[in-house]
Amino acid sequence: MHFVDTEALLRRIGVEHDEKPGLDGLTRLHEAYVDQVPYESVQYQLAPGTPLDLEETARRIIARETGGYCFQLNGVLALLLTDLGYDVTMHRGGVQTPNLPGDVDGGHLVLTVRGLVEDPDRVWLVDAGLGNGLIHPTPLEAGAFHQDPFDLVLRRSEKTTGWRMDHDPRFGLFGMDFEDAPATLGDFAGRHAELSGDPQSPFVRTASVFRRKRDSIVVLRSVGRTETFGDRVDNSIIENQADYFAILADEFFLPLPQYGGAQRDQLWRRVWQQYEEFVAQTT
């Protein structure tokens, strides 16, 4: 049995919740969670990941020592929602990008929620673990839908007995497939060890931070900041260490209080090197 300090986590994301499980409460929780808790791989730049422990991750999220990626973010969100009375199911998924074929290999953890007071039998897709994914839950039903700045489509999967979300192709994430069958946290332990510890993992090779705002997505990849709106993309380079850590703290709510001066120097050298290597590869 897992334990999370529900009241502290609600304070961390700035939400009060004292109602029966309903769509309004679920929507407010989802929006606040993806806005306030960053999708990030900064945590894997100075040391490999530890075993998948949702209680420890929740404690560190509350302390602003970390955000997370799909296993951590959706895992902690599942604990929070369950504690608040929501009926939550985990599912194995996979993500398709220019560098990933999209196999349903357990490389992504997806949530569904049912039993809301408005319609107990309706199923909702809940996913705080894509970085540039959903801002709100959406009905698990075939069809197109829009969540600024993305045009998205839900349909039955061609890869598995389950579902496919086609993402907006402008943003480098082609789609995500997941199984109908329920999963447990243990189903993701092996992939977590690989993605958080292998030096060749993209989560280890590049420090990335995502914040999903109501009408945009902000990304800090090494030292390159990008904010994507429906009608434009703003780009800038963070050129000094003080600005880098200020942006982490002020824009991504990730002040990293556990890092002293030597660790901050080391992280800054690493992310700047990642940027220099990127420039060398593209020129």
pLDDT given at position 102: 78
Number of H helices, E strands in the chain: 8, 14
Amino acid making up residue 254: L
User: Considering only CA atoms, which of 217, 220, 252, 249 is closest in space to residue 233?
Assistant: 217
Q: Is the peptide bond before 149 cis (omega within 30 degrees of 0)?
A: yes
Name all domains of the chain by residue range, CATH numbers in brackets: 208-282 (3.30.2140.10)
Whether the pLDDT of residue 244 is over 90: the answer is yes
pLDDT class for 168, splitting at 50, 70, 90?
confident
What gap in Å lies between CA 149 and CA 167, rounded to an integer?
11
Reported as type and span, the H/E element at residue 228 is: strand 224-228
- Mean pLDDT value of segment 230-254: 96
- Predicted TM-score (pTM) of the model is 0.96
- DSSP conformational letter for 222: T
Residue given tokens 């608040």 in the structure block: 84
pLDDT tens figures, 203-224: 999 999 999 999 999 999 999 9
pLDDT class for 2, splitting at 50, 70, 90?
low
- All residues at 6 or more sequence positions from 244 whose CB lies less than 8 Å from its CB, including other chains: 223, 238, 268, 271
Whether the pLDDT of residue 3 is over 90: the answer is no
Averaged confidence pLDDT in the chain: 95
Amino acid making up residue 194: E
Distances (CA, A) of 160 to 176, 179, 189, 243: 11, 6, 21, 45
pLDDT tens figures, 40-62: 999 999 999 999 999 999 999 99
What gap in Å lies between CA 235 and CA 184, rounded to an integer?
39
pLDDT given at position 263: 98
- Each as own residue / partner, the long-range contacts of residues 211-215 (CB below 8 Å, 24 or more positions apart, any chain) are 211/34, 211/35, 211/38, 211/39, 211/251, 211/252, 211/253, 212/34, 212/35, 212/39, 212/131, 212/132, 212/133, 212/134, 212/135, 213/35, 213/135, 214/31, 214/35, 214/135, 214/148, 215/148, 215/149
- DSSP conformational letter for 270: H
pLDDT given at position 22: 97
What gap in Å lies between CA 159 and CA 236, rounded to an integer?
38
Strand order across the 217-221 sheet: 39-40, 208-212, 217-221, 224-228, 233-237
Contact 256, 283 (CB under 8 A): no
pLDDT class for 1, splitting at 50, 70, 90?
low
